[in-house]
Amino acid sequence: MPPERAVWQRFMDDARRRVEQAPGLEVRGTLTRVAGLVLEARGIREPIGAQCQVVMPGSAPVLAEVVGFSGELAYLMPAGDVHGLSAGASVVPAAPYVPVPRLGEPERDVRARSGMLRLPQGRGLLGRVVDPQGMPMDGQGPLQDVAAEPMDRRPINAMDRDPVRLPLDTGVRAINSLLTVGRGQRIGLFAGSGVGKSVLLGMMARYTEADVIVVGLIGERGREVKEFIEDILGEEGRARSVVVAAPADAPPLLRMQGAAYATAVAEHFRDRGQHVLLLMDSLTRYAMAQREIALAIGEPPATKGYPPSCFARLPALVERSGNGLNGVGSITAFYTVLSEGDDQQDPIADAARAILDGHIVLSRALAEEAHYPAIDVEQSASRVMHNVATPEHLEAARRFRTLYGRFRGSRDLVRVGAYAAGSDPLLDDAIRLQPAMTAFLQQNMREGASLDDSVEGLQYIAAAAQAL
């Protein structure tokens, strides 16, 4: 190569290297309007789901997410307090999470982390309580042994998932015996407020056979967050758990992000071959947060004030759980669903029942009788029980349900003395076995019941019924 050409080649290579290493041009938009929960900005072209910061001189930046656009106008939903913002504030793409640098690690490229949401993932989350932005809430210092990963994940092909074939021991006698859950199943806990949903979730968190437990507390009262972690979950459950908390006073964007983050954490451990138990309280609060956002940007309401996007978001979230690729790892998920006024035909409850693999209904009438857990076995069902239970187990469960349902249906007649013994032989058997059946279904929150013991107790009652 001629000397002159070599000089120019070196010059061009050096210029190309300088251009590649130079920081990119920063695109800035301008805040033009704040209407309720929505920020409107011009001059910024970021995709849906991109993270931005609204910057005002002399105040802390406000993190926001692009949730819609109309022509040159971008709609953003803030993740914090908008007090102090005014027209003309700068809107710039943000890097929502940058891991803490550690000695000996190569320098991270922060530019690659801007735009789409990335939050911490890894074993360093075990035993920790974090908010929807991945920031610790437990006062135990910064997260270690984590890496920033994107929240948007491609769904798993349905043909690449293994079917639910193995039973899962939840530690709850009524569920193990009559509503047997399979590993990789998605099931809902349907109930009104104050009937023991959180206590039941805590029991499963302590006693379920799972490698990792991910708890998403979405839209719950702030007081309940600490009580659930310290009193219900306990030290034993917390040691193998990751808790993502988005209390009721969090903006709707953070409540939705908390549910997505909890699911992403569960996916992270599942993809590494572990069996994960995902407990989300509650799916209804997630839908309510989506309703607030959709109505704020002008989407028309459809059913009881819920816009169509709510019913599209629910299956998109739920379908992310389940068995992993070719049977490697699994997520067994329990979603609590609030029934307004104990109405099981609430639109969110009805939609959730259709997309889940079973439903466990908690009865207020049973709770008022101090019957805990207040599981109404007559209204509850597990759609995969026939795949994970033996024929003997299924027959014992059928016999138990028949007797229990016959007694519950005729209970008022028996109590007022209007029933004459001998009129219905099946009801006579149900009356004799009623104390044993009621005691079998009740369980102390500090008491665990294994799957084998639960099935054995169920078969014992069924055999006693046949002997009568």
Same domain, 184 and 269: yes
Among the three residues 380, 409, 430, which one is the final residue of a domain in this structure? Answer: 380
Same domain as 361, residue 220: yes
Task: Quote the mean pLDDT of the chain.
Answer: 86
* DSSP-assigned beta bridge partners for residue 33: 40
Cα separation, 6 vs 200, whole angstroms: 74
Domain identity same for 310 and 459: no
211 and 308 co-located in one domain: yes
In a domain, 9, yes or no: yes
100 domain residue, yes or no: no
Residue among 115, 120, 148, 123 nearest 134 (CA): 120
**Three-class DSSP category at 6:** helix
334-341: average pLDDT: 84
Q: Domain check: are 289 and 142 in the same one?
A: yes
Rounded Cα–Cα distance for residues 186 and 358 (Å):
7
Which pLDDT score, from 0 to 100, does residue 107 have? Answer: 44
Does residue 194 share a domain with residue 239?
yes
Element (H, E) at 406: helix 391-409
Q: What is the pLDDT of residues 120-154, one digit of tens each?
A: 999 999 999 999 989 999 888 899 999 888 887 77
Provide the domain limits for residue 43: 3-93
Q: At residue 380, does pLDDT exceed 90?
A: yes
The alpha carbon dihedral of 354, 358, 360, 361 has a sign of: positive
pLDDT score recorded for residue 22? 52
Alpha-carbon distances of 188 from 341, 356, 357, rounded to whole Å? 17, 7, 8
The CATH number linked to 452 is 1.20.1270.330
| 196 shares a domain with 137 | yes
The mean pLDDT of 423-435, rounded to a whole number, is 88
Among 360, 380, 400, the domain-final residue is 380
The reply to whether 300 and 199 lie within a common domain is yes
Domain boundary among 93, 110, 135: 93
Residue 181, domain CATH? 3.40.50.12240
Does some domain include residue 112?
no
Q: Residue range 276-287: average pLDDT?
A: 93
Cβ–Cβ < 8 Å for 465, 425:
no
Per-residue model confidence as pLDDT tens digits over 57-109: 888 888 899 998 888 899 999 988 888 888 889 999 876 554 544 444 444 44
Answer whether residue 437 shows pLDDT above 90. Answer: yes
CATH classification at residue 38: 2.40.10.170
The whole-number pLDDT of residue 304 equals 79
Per-residue model confidence (pLDDT) at position 356: 94
Q: Pick from 276, 273, 243, 248: which is nearest to 261 by CA?
A: 243
Domain count, the chain: 3
On whether both 135 and 219 belong to a single domain, the answer is yes
Structural domain includes residue 55: yes
What mean pLDDT comes out for the span 108-121?
62
Domain membership of residue 30 (yes or no) is yes
Contacts with 22 (C-beta within 8 Å, 6 or more apart), sequence order: none
Q: 111 in a domain, yes or no?
A: no
- For residues 350 and 317, state if they share a domain: yes
Q: What pLDDT score does 21 carry?
A: 55
Q: Is residue 99 part of a domain?
A: no
Task: Decide if 287 contacts 315 (C-beta within 8 A).
Answer: no
Question: Are 76 and 179 found together in one domain?
Answer: no
pLDDT digits (tens, 9 = 90+) for 251-267: 999 999 999 999 999 99
Residues 269 and 334 in one domain: yes
The mean pLDDT value for 232-250 works out to 85
